[in-house]
Amino acid sequence: DLIPGSRTRRFSVSSRCTTVMPAWVIDTYGNNDVLRFTKNASFPVINYPNEVIVKVFAAGLNPLDVSMRGGHGAATLSMKRDPLNIKQTGSEFPLVLGRDVSGVIMECGLDVKYFRERDEVWAAIPPWKQGSLAEFVVLSGNEVSHKPKSLSHTEAAAIPFVAMTAWSALVNTGGLSKDNCAKKRILILGGSGGVGTFSIQMLKAWGAHVTVTCSQNAEQFLRGLGADHVVDYTAGPVEEPLSALEKFDLILDNVGGDTERWALNLLKPWSGAKYVTLVTPFLQNTDRLGIADGMMQTAATVATKALKHLVKGVHYRWGLFAPSGPALDEVREMVDAGQIRPVVEETFSFSQVPQAFEKMEKGHARGKTVVQIKDQY
Write out the residues near ligand NAP by the rule CB under 6 A: 62-64, 162, 165, 189-190, 192-196, 213-215, 233, 254-255, 278-280, 319-321, 363-365
Query: What minimum distance in Å lies between the beta carbon of 368 and ligand NAP?
Result: 7
Query: What minimum distance in Å lies between the beta carbon of 345 and ligand NAP?
Result: 8
**Hey, is 79 helix, strand or coil?**
helix
Query: What minimum distance in Å lies between the beta carbon of 127 and ligand NAP?
Result: 9
**Hey, is 112 helix, strand or coil?**
coil
Phi-psi domain of 118 (left: phi exceeds 0; alpha: psi -120 through 50; beta: other): left
Q: Residue 234 or 271: which CB sits closer to ligand NAP?
A: 234
Q: Residue 101 or 195: which CB sits closer to ligand NAP?
A: 195
Q: Residue 162 or 327: which CB sits closer to ligand NAP?
A: 162
Query: What minimum distance in Å lies between the beta carbon of 154 and ligand NAP?
Result: 17
Q: Residue 242 or 267: which CB sits closer to ligand NAP?
A: 242
Secondary structure of 141-172 in HEC code, one letter for each residue: HHHEEECCCCCCHHHHCCCHHHHHHHHHHHHH
Contact, 275 vs 256, CB < 8 A? Answer: no
In 10 A of CB 338, how many CB atoms? Answer: 9
Q: Residue 218 or 273: which CB sits closer to ligand NAP?
A: 218
Tell me phi and psi for residue 102, to 5 degrees: -130, 130
Q: Residue 112 or 158: which CB sits closer to ligand NAP?
A: 158
DSSP per position, 287-303: HHH-HHHHHHHHHHHHH
Contact, 170 vs 252, CB < 8 A? Answer: yes
Contact, 336 vs 150, CB < 8 A? Answer: yes
Alpha helices, DSSP H, located in the chain = 63-69, 74-81, 153-156, 160-167, 194-205, 219-224, 239-243, 259-263, 282-289, 291-310, 325-336, 353-361
Query: What minimum distance in Å lies between the beta carbon of 371 and ligand NAP?
Result: 15
Query: What minimum distance in Å lies between the beta carbon of 157 and ligand NAP?
Result: 14
Q: Residue 44 or 63: which CB sits closer to ligand NAP?
A: 63
Four-CA torsion 281, 168, 50, 374, nearest 10 degrees: -90
Query: What minimum distance in Å lies between the beta carbon of 227 and ligand NAP?
Result: 12
Q: Residue 226 or 313: which CB sits closer to ligand NAP?
A: 226
Of 358, 364, 324, 376, nearest in space to 61 by CA: 358
Query: What minimum distance in Å lies between the beta carbon of 250 and ligand NAP?
Result: 16
Contact, 192 vs 266, CB < 8 A? Answer: no
Four-CA torsion 111, 96, 372, 202, nearest 10 degrees: 70
Chain residue whose CB lies nearest ligand NAP:
193
